[in-house]
Amino acid sequence: MAKGFDTIESTIEAFRNGEFIVVLDSQDRENEGDLIIAAEDVTTEKMAFMVRYTSGLICAPITSQLAAGLALPQMVVDNEDPNRTAYTISIDSNDES
């Protein structure tokens, strides 16, 4: 294990406790870290933290059925990215329901 990294067990425990975790991908992919938290644990303060201290791009995984139901088309129709990242168009909402 690389110096400075937590164990998988402690990371799972942090996630269960509603804390942020950072997941790194391969140097051969995007070579980046993603700040992850369960949606049920997101608060206004935690969302503000993500916006302020990351790129500000907040992603939420959804099924293709939900995307269709919300009329969210793919951002790029013919995705040529080797990782095939499937982003929909960006949205913003102040609807608290």
Contact 64, 74 (CB under 8 A): no
Number of domains in the chain: 2
Are 71 and 54 in the same domain?
no
Contacts of 7 (CB under 8 A, 6+ apart): 1
Segment 4-51, tens digit of pLDDT: 889 999 999 999 999 999 999 878 877 788 999 999 999 999 999 999
The rounded Cα 41 to chain-centroid distance in angstroms is: 13
Domain-located, residue 2:
no
- State pTM to two decimals: 0.72
Residues 28 and 45 in one domain: yes
77 within some domain: yes
Selection from 48, 34, 41, 35 nearest residue 18 by Cα: 41
Residue 53, in any domain of the structure: yes
Q: What is the pLDDT of residues 56-76, one digit of tens each?
A: 889 888 898 999 999 988 888
Whether residues 44 and 75 fall in one domain: no
Determine the structural domain holding residue 73 and report its residue range.
61-92
Mean confidence (pLDDT) of the chain: 87
How many CB atoms are closer than 10 A to CB 74? 13
